[in-house]
Amino acid sequence: MKKILEVNVDDQGLGGVYSLVRSVILGKPEGYQMDIACIMHFADNAHIKELNDRGTQVYFIGREGHNHVSMRDLEQNLYQLLMKNKYDCVHIHADTAYRMYAFGHAAKRAGVRKIIFHSHAAGVDGNYLIVKKFLHRVYRGRLKKIGSCFAACSDLAAAWMYPGIPREKVIQINNGIDLNRFRFDADTRREMREELGLSDYFVVGHVGRFSYQKNHEYLIRVFQAFKKEVPKAKLLLIGSHDGTKEIWDRIREMTAQARLSEDVIFYGTTDHVERMMQAMDLFVLPSRFEGLPVVGVEAQACGLPVVYSDRITREAALTDRVSFAGIEEKDIDAWVRAMKDQMNLERTDMVPFLRKEGFDINDTIQSFLNLYKDV
C-alpha cells in the first residue's frame, strides 16, 4: 500500500484543486492510501464522510479559530503530522512559492522520500498582495533544492512557480473532469431553467468564489453594458463568500446601485454545478489570473460558449467556442461584442473534443499515479 498525503486541499468555495483531488481519490485503484492535510476546516462534513468512505483521512493543520496562520506554524503542524503518520510521498498543492516551500521543508525534515510540488495558479489572491508577490519571488528559487518532482496545470502556472527550472522538467497535468457528468442534456436544461425561473431569459453564468482573483466587480460592469443591448439577460453567480464577505457585500451594493438587483442571481454554492451549467446560455470568466480554470473545462464540456479574460492561458480554450477579452475599462465593449457573437450558437455535445484534448478525469488520475509510481 502506497501512502500519499495531499497537502493544502479543502472544500472552501468548492474550488478547482478540491474538485481535482476529490475526483482522483474517488477514482483511484486499490493499493493507494491518499489522505488530505488542510489548513482550513472543511465547510461540509458530508464531503469528509464521502472521503472517509473511500479510506481517506482528513487532517487539519491550521490553527483553531484563525483563518490566517504563520507559515512557521503551518510547517511545524505538518511536520508533526508527518512524524506521526509515515507517508511515502507528499503532494503539495499551492499558488505561492513561500507556502510551497514551508510545506516542502516540513516534509524534508520528516524524511519523506518523495516531495511533489504542484502549481495551480499564475498569481496571488487576497490581502497584502505586494508582500505576497515579494515573498513568492524570494522563495520560488529555493523550491528545486527540496522538491523531487515539479508539476503544473498549465504553461502559465509553470512559469509563475518554476522560472529557474527548465520547462521540459515540469510535468503538466491537465485539470481533468468527469466528462460524462457535464455532458449537455436538453431535458436537464429545461428542468433547471424552469426551477430557477429562467426559461424566458438569456442566462450568463459565472462560477467562482467571491475574491480579488475572480474579479466580480468587472463582471458586473460588463453585464450592465450587455444588459443594455440584451434586455432579457440574467446573470447567474455561483460561488461562496466564506472569508470574503467584504467583497460579497461590495458586489451586492454595486449591483443595487446599477439597478440590477432583479437581474443578478446570487445563488451561493452547490454540489451540483453541472446541473446549474445546463441552465446557462453563456459562461464568462473575467479572472485577474488563473492556472487553468477547472470551471472553464466544465463549462466547455457542457457545450457552453465561453468568454475568458486575456489573463487566462490560451491552453484553456479546448473548443472553437471560446474567445478572450481584456479586463481594462476600455475592454468592456469587447466583452459585449464577444458575448453577443456567441448568443446564437446551438448547444451540442462537446465531450469528444475535450476527451481528445486529454481532459477526461481518467487521464488525470493516471497522471497522478505516474507521479507516485516510484515511491
Predicted confidence at residue 329, as pLDDT, reads 96
- Ranked by mean pLDDT, which of 7-21, 41-55, 121-135, 295-309 comes out on top? 295-309
Verify that 186 and 71 share a domain, yes or no. Answer: no
What is the distance between the alpha carbons of residues 248 and 250, in angstroms, rounded to a whole number? Answer: 5
Confidence check: pLDDT of 372 > 60: yes
Q: What is the value of pTM for the model shown?
A: 0.91
Verify that 117 and 212 share a domain, yes or no. Answer: no
Verify that 309 and 364 share a domain, yes or no. Answer: no
**Residues 338-354: what's their mean pLDDT?**
94
Predicted confidence at residue 241, as pLDDT, reads 76
pLDDT band at 66 (very low <50, low <70, confident <90, very high): low
**Residues 258-280: what's their mean pLDDT?**
95
Number of domains, the chain: 2
Average per-residue pLDDT in the chain?
93
**Residues 204-229: what's their mean pLDDT?**
96
Find the helix or strand (DSSP H, E) in which 284 lies.
strand 282-285
Verify that 166 and 254 share a domain, yes or no. Answer: no
pLDDT band at 67 (very low <50, low <70, confident <90, very high): low
Confidence check: pLDDT of 13 > 60: no
Confidence check: pLDDT of 181 > 60: yes
Look up the domain containing 320 and give its range: 179-356
**Residues 46-65: what's their mean pLDDT?**
91
pLDDT digits (tens, 9 = 90+) for 95-142: 999 999 999 999 999 999 999 999 998 888 777 788 989 999 999 999
pLDDT digits (tens, 9 = 90+) for 296-313: 999 999 999 999 999 999
Report the percent of the chain where pLDDT is more than 70. Answer: 98
Tell me the C-alpha to C-alpha distance, in Å, between residue 215 and each of 147, 170, 286.
33, 29, 6
Residue with cell 483553531: 64
Helix residue spans in 141-280 (DSSP H): 155-161, 179-182, 186-196, 216-229, 245-257, 273-279
Predicted confidence at residue 71, as pLDDT, reads 86
**Residues 249-277: what's their mean pLDDT?**
95
Predicted confidence at residue 63, as pLDDT, reads 83
Verify that 266 and 349 share a domain, yes or no. Answer: yes
Handedness of CA 263, 267, 272, 274 (dihedral sign): positive
Verify that 36 and 163 share a domain, yes or no. Answer: yes
Verify that 163 and 236 share a domain, yes or no. Answer: no
Residue with cell 473532469: 177
Predicted confidence at residue 350, as pLDDT, reads 96
Verify that 18 and 155 share a domain, yes or no. Answer: yes
Verify that 13 and 129 share a domain, yes or no. Answer: yes
Verify that 22 and 138 share a domain, yes or no. Answer: yes
Report the percent of the chain where pLDDT is more than 90. Answer: 83
Confidence check: pLDDT of 203 > 90: yes
Which three-class secondary structure state does DSSP give residue 99?
helix
What is the distance between the alpha carbons of residues 100 and 144, in angstroms, rounded to a whole number? Answer: 11
**What CATH number did the domain enclosing 320 receive?**
3.40.50.2000
Predicted confidence at residue 242, as pLDDT, reads 65
Verify that 270 and 149 share a domain, yes or no. Answer: no
pLDDT band at 278 (very low <50, low <70, confident <90, very high): very high
